[in-house]
Amino acid sequence: MFSIASSASDSLFDELWQLQQQVDELFGSWTSSSGGIRSLPRGSFPAVNIGHTPERVDVYLFAPGLDPKTLDISIQQNLLTVTGTREIPTEEQATYYRQERFSGEFRRVIALPEDIDPDRVHAKYRDGVVQIGVERREAARPRQIEIH
């Protein structure tokens, strides 16, 4: 008897999940407060990882299939901005039941720590990942004081 209740419960949750997916498709994913572990709010392309060391801040943009020359990367007042366009080819004769790959213009703005040096920024692209390194100001870096 427990398995029947569990089965009915699973079926109900499956139906609710499908309804949520349909609402997300109609109105965008902003309607659901928590998506799956791999989901991002609409417009959050490309996905990012941000890490730091005492010497620098590294931003990794996951942008497979993008031509890095089409990206515009700028930094102003500790805000790193990345803009571009991602075009996903589609088959005109095909009927799509779901399209989860983002297509169109995007913009990501990332707040960086106050101690970064906007004049010491570099970016490189490799295997679909853009790595942006922003050095910290020398005065902000920890330094060892020697006792004489």
Domains in the chain with CATH codes: 1-39 (no CATH), 43-140 (2.60.40.790)
pLDDT 10s digits, 118-141: 999 999 999 999 999 999 988 766
pTM over 0.85: no
pLDDT 10s digits, 54-110: 899 999 999 888 888 889 999 998 899 999 988 878 888 888 877 777 788 888 899
The answer to whether 34 and 24 are in contact (CB under 8 A) is no
Taken in order 20, 22, 24, 26, is the CA torsion positive or negative?
A: negative
